[in-house]
Structure 1
Amino acid sequence: MRLDKFLKVSRLIKRRTLAKQVADQGRITINGKVSKASSVVKAGDELSIRFGQKVVTARVDELKESTKKEDAASMYTILKEEKLEKVEPEFIDDED
């Protein structure tokens, strides 16, 4: 199944167009490799998705073509959620 479709059906990301944009920005990895929206997802794959200042890592448990809202969470298991620290820009003092 395509990555963008899995993200929509599983409701990790609500809209397929948004899932495609996030993937095309290089913010999703499958098993540690940066992935595009058209990448193939299989059961057992590990996805890492960067949402702003947070990274969610999930394991794909099953693939379904469609699912009800209450059953969507059974398609994956959240392994971890990490907050990214904001990186402060370094300022160069030109007055020396």
Structure 2
Amino acid sequence: MRLDKYLKVSRIIKRRTVAKDLADDSRVLINDKLAKPSSEVKVGDVVEIRFEHRHIKIEVSFLSDKILRSNPPMYELIEDKRIEKAVD
């Protein structure tokens, strides 16, 4: 499954275009390698996303093309760090 679609379907990011923009800005890593929006995501991959004030790291645990309540969790949260902005 494409990275941008996975981030949207798993509800980590609300819109696919936002997921695409993050990947285009080199703020998404898959298994410690820079990822493009079209990068393939597989079960077991570790995805790191660097938001402006927060960095999260997840492990992909399930893939599905559709958002269904009956689906198991699509990821397991490994790390969630808040980033403080330096004030001068």
TM-score by length of 2: 0.90
> Partners in 1 of 2:32 and 2:57 — Cα distance?
11
Higher Cα Rg: structure 1 or 2?
1
Task: Report the CA distance shift for 1:83/1:15 in structure 2 as closer, same or farther (over 3 A).
Answer: same
> Partners in 1 of 2:71 and 2:53 — Cα distance?
24
- Alpha-carbon RMSD: 1.7
User: Do residues 74 (structure 1) and 73 (structure 2) align?
Assistant: yes
> Which one has a larger percent helix, Structure 1 or Structure 2?
1
TM-score by length of 1: 0.83
Residues 37-83 of structure 1, C-alpha deviations (whole Å, 9 max, x = no match): 00000000000001112100000001001022x45770001111012
Unaligned runs of 5+ in 1: 90-96
> Which residue number corresponds to residue 25 of structure 2?
25
